[in-house]
Amino acid sequence: MKRTFLGLILVLVTCGLWAEDGHSLWLRKKETGTVNVVCSDKSPTLAIAVQELKQGWQGIDGASITLKIKKDKAIRNDGFKLSSTEIQANTRIGILYGVYELLRRQQTEEAIEEKVYNPSYQIRALNHWDNLDGTIERGYAGYSLFWGKDKNLSVPTDAEKQLWKEYARTNASIGINGAVLNNVNASADMLTGGILQRVKAIADILRPYGIKVYISIKFSSPVAVGGLKNSDPLNPEVAKWWKEKVIEIYKTIPDFGGFLVKANSEGQPGPQDYGRTHVDGANMLADVLKPFGGIVMWRAFVYASNDKDRAKQAYNEFMPFDGKFRDNVIIQVKNGPIDFQPREPFSPLFGAMKKTSVMPEVQITQEYLGHSIHLVYLSTMWEELLNSDTYQQGKGSTVARCTDGSIYPQKYTAIAGVSNIGLDRNWCGLDFAQSNWYAFGRLAWDNQLTSEQIADEWLKLTFGNVASPQSADWKQNFLVPVKQLMLESREAAVNYMMPLGFHHIFSADEHYGPGPWWAPKGIRADWTPPYYHQASANGVGFDRARTGSDAVEQYHEPLASKFNDPKTCPENLLLWFHHLPWDYQMKSGRTLWDEICYQYATGLEQVGEFQKTWDKVEKYVDVDRFIRVQGKLRHQRRDAQIWNDACLLYFQKFSKRPIPYQLDRPQNDLDQLIENDRRRLHPGK
């Protein structure tokens, strides 16, 4: 009976009649065979492992598989050894990861050979920028899963608990084992009783799936909720307050992970308010967490308004402290020196801090890459980061190797991704944005995976035909072109938004549309695009060479010299490092101005091609997802046109050159675009 019903669903899905709302992500229901699972451990985690095998088995019908917890030197941390008949691990969660790997391999038709799988990073965490009122900073997929305004936060509903369970399962399926539950711009209320009860309720549900909870704290909490006179980290009263708070937390949540801290950044309080340093602040917290095994993830995202080059500041502020942090402090460094831009060079702190644990932070939510409207697969961007060579310990000192323990003996290794999920039915707002959540988990587990492989897996799991998985026809006509689209998508976005090293030329604080002109009076310069593009009649770009801000010096040779010379600087970072005349000769033989025009045109054309590719695969996709993605692509194409027109017409005012005659003419008028933008930002004025 059960089989018949499932069969009916499968027929409907095959015929495209059963619309998929995207809620099951890469864990869609499928028809299974039976499997006999041998397992003596009765823990909740292993119960999940057994259940997952039974409900997802795609191997030989009636086969047997043994789950075995047994130490093996080749297996590290929560790694596992997988074969087609046995999963072995040092830990229970290792077994569960092995189960997910096995099921993924069955479903994607990858070979299952005996092999050990070890994680690249010990801590693989999502950072939720969720506020206690349920809104999400830079969230484009609805409200928070965890918090809400009119909720009794200390008593979660069954529906909430169910959702948290699905969240936990999804994360475990890709190896994510940490969740920071609230915004880095933290509320001090996070540390109050009712809220901690909710953190406990969440932790209880996440625990069997191997996920620890962490919270972001506000550095001034001792004053704000503790009633103390100050929050000076060297004040013994303050340290005592934190100590008692931490004891209370661990009484409630014995396996609590620790704190994430944004201090003295963008107006957030921090130790510098009392003339103390990042080291004073981080170490004080580390000391109180240490007895419980907790850690401090202290962010290096800092910049003051008066500095001449924002890109240099994190390095300048943190390098003098190398070696001074406790071993349970990890410095959390954004991928680039500025701020999650479509393309940045890697942050020079990677590899440079040699005696300090450092972890990369990437942004899964597409704050600067088209929100949940543009189809942008971010894995290629993270792959570029992880494989960037810092040269700090000779050739091959990639960011991956400098942060995963291969080169420096960090006590803890970790990676964080700013989450893109919310209460939207499909979790991420845009179906393809799910691939970014997936890719983050997969790369955090194995930082050597390629974006191609990850896209391949994700497409098979997410769009694979449930009834007849992966027919040759499906592979050739759906998988190949759509994978290609994904792999090109980030470069396309760079092309139509900020090619050749342009950065931060968004309008206002929304970080969505173009605004190279945007510079309202009274606002700090480093929050306005002209600070970053420096366009004038003489040329364009930020001079970070030795003749300019000398940011190149923060990179290890041979990179410093390579970036310093426009002839050797990679062209995709040219205007990041150099201010060049409009007629500067590019490698293509074109002038800089012409090349800029061509790059924007290429981006626009790429999105046009994405639309055609998608329309062509209609018969392979269920109606719902097909239409949703089609609509988003249309929107993306329209907004790419606006990027193209706004940037070309604006920069043309300085270059005073024609847009190459081979290229399509802008469709919008610059004054109108600026006026539309102004009206949108100030409705009614």
135 part of the interface to ligand BDP, by CB under 6 A: no
* H or E segment and range at residue 660: none
Residue 127 contacts residue 419 (beta carbons within 8 Å)? yes
| Nearer to ligand BDP among residue 136 and residue 288 (C-beta) | 136
Per the residue annotation, which of 133, 244, 248, 266 is the catalytic one? Answer: 266
Number of residues forming the site for ligand BDP (CB under 6 A): 10
How far is 67 from 103, CA to CA, in rounded Å?
A: 14
Q: What is the token pair recorded at 241?
A: 């307050």
Q: In the sheet that 63-69 helps form, which strands lie side by side, from edge to edge?
A: 35-38, 63-69, 86-89, 80-82, 115-117
Residue 30 exposed, middle or buried by CB count within 10 Å (0-12, 13-18, 19+): buried
Farthest-apart Cα atoms in the chain, separation: 76
Q: What is the token pair recorded at 397?
A: 């000192």
How far CA 152 is from CA of 130, 145, 191, 251, 662, in Å, comes to: 17, 14, 16, 22, 62
137 part of the interface to ligand BDP, by CB under 6 A: yes
Residue 57 contacts residue 34 (beta carbons within 8 Å)? yes
**The binder of ligand BDP chosen from 184, 430, 459, 586 (CB under 6 A):** 184
510 is catalytic: no
470 part of the interface to ligand BDP, by CB under 6 A: no
Kindly give the pairing relationship between strand 178-180 and strand 115-117: unpaired
How far is 559 from 562, CA to CA, in rounded Å?
A: 5
> Under rule CB under 6 A, which residues in 557-586 are in contact with ligand BDP?
none
Query: What is the separation, in whole angstroms, between the first and last Cα of the chain?
Result: 64
CB of 305 vs ligand BDP, minimal distance in Å:
15
> What is the SS3 assignment for 503?
coil
| Nearer to ligand BDP among residue 185 and residue 316 (C-beta) | 185
Binding mask 221-260 for ligand BDP (x = CB under 6 A): ----------------------------------------
CB of 298 vs ligand BDP, minimal distance in Å:
13
Helix and strand numbers, DSSP H then E, in the chain: 21, 13
Residue 144 contacts residue 128 (beta carbons within 8 Å)? yes
185 part of the interface to ligand BDP, by CB under 6 A: yes
| Nearer to ligand BDP among residue 172 and residue 418 (C-beta) | 418
| Nearer to ligand BDP among residue 184 and residue 201 (C-beta) | 184
Residue 218 contacts residue 268 (beta carbons within 8 Å)? yes
How far CA 479 is from CA of 108, 425, 428, 483, in Å, comes to: 12, 25, 21, 6
130 part of the interface to ligand BDP, by CB under 6 A: no
Per the residue annotation, which of 78, 367, 526, 677 is the catalytic one? Answer: 367
CB of 263 vs ligand BDP, minimal distance in Å:
11
CB of 67 vs ligand BDP, minimal distance in Å:
40
361 is catalytic: no
CA neighbor of 348 nearest in space, from 361, 360, 336, 357 = 336
| Nearer to ligand BDP among residue 397 and residue 528 (C-beta) | 528
| Nearer to ligand BDP among residue 147 and residue 593 (C-beta) | 147
Q: What is the token pair recorded at 91?
A: 């830990």
CB of 416 vs ligand BDP, minimal distance in Å:
11
677 part of the interface to ligand BDP, by CB under 6 A: no
| Nearer to ligand BDP among residue 138 and residue 442 (C-beta) | 138
DSSP string for 417-481: EE----SSTTSSSSGGGHHHHHHHHHHHH-TT--HHHHHHHHHHHHHS-SSSTT-HHHIIIIIHH
How far is 280 from 231, CA to CA, in rounded Å?
A: 12
Residue 666 contacts residue 401 (beta carbons within 8 Å)? no
CB of 242 vs ligand BDP, minimal distance in Å:
22
| Nearer to ligand BDP among residue 339 and residue 491 (C-beta) | 339
Binding mask 281-310 for ligand BDP (x = CB under 6 A): --------------------x---------
| Nearer to ligand BDP among residue 80 and residue 301 (C-beta) | 301
Residue 638 contacts residue 676 (beta carbons within 8 Å)? no
CB of 332 vs ligand BDP, minimal distance in Å:
10
Q: 398 phi and psi, to 5 degrees?
A: -70, 165
| Nearer to ligand BDP among residue 81 and residue 138 (C-beta) | 138
266 is catalytic: yes
* Position of minimal CB gap to ligand BDP: 339
CB of 185 vs ligand BDP, minimal distance in Å:
5
CB of 199 vs ligand BDP, minimal distance in Å:
21
CB of 679 vs ligand BDP, minimal distance in Å:
23
CB of 509 vs ligand BDP, minimal distance in Å:
7
> What is the SS3 assignment for 324?
coil
Kindly give the pairing relationship between strand 295-299 and strand 258-261: parallel
Residue 323 contacts residue 297 (beta carbons within 8 Å)? no
DSSP string for 87-125: EEESSHHHHHHHHHHHHHHHHHT----SEEE--S-SEEE
How far is 369 from 346, CA to CA, in rounded Å?
A: 17
138 part of the interface to ligand BDP, by CB under 6 A: yes
Per the residue annotation, which of 20, 78, 339, 491 is the catalytic one? Answer: 339
278 part of the interface to ligand BDP, by CB under 6 A: no
140 part of the interface to ligand BDP, by CB under 6 A: no
> What is the SS3 assignment for 572?
helix
| Nearer to ligand BDP among residue 510 and residue 615 (C-beta) | 510
Binding mask 312-351 for ligand BDP (x = CB under 6 A): ---------------------------xx-----------
Bridge partners, 298 (sequence order): 261, 331
Q: Which residues have CB under 8 Å from 196's CB, separation 6+?
A: 248, 249, 252, 253
> Under rule CB under 6 A, which residues in 355-394 are in contact with ligand BDP?
367
219 part of the interface to ligand BDP, by CB under 6 A: no
CB of 77 vs ligand BDP, minimal distance in Å:
28
526 part of the interface to ligand BDP, by CB under 6 A: no
| Nearer to ligand BDP among residue 248 and residue 266 (C-beta) | 266
Residues noted as catalytic? 266, 339, 367
Site for ligand BDP, rule CB under 6 A: 137-138, 184-185, 262, 266, 301, 339-340, 367
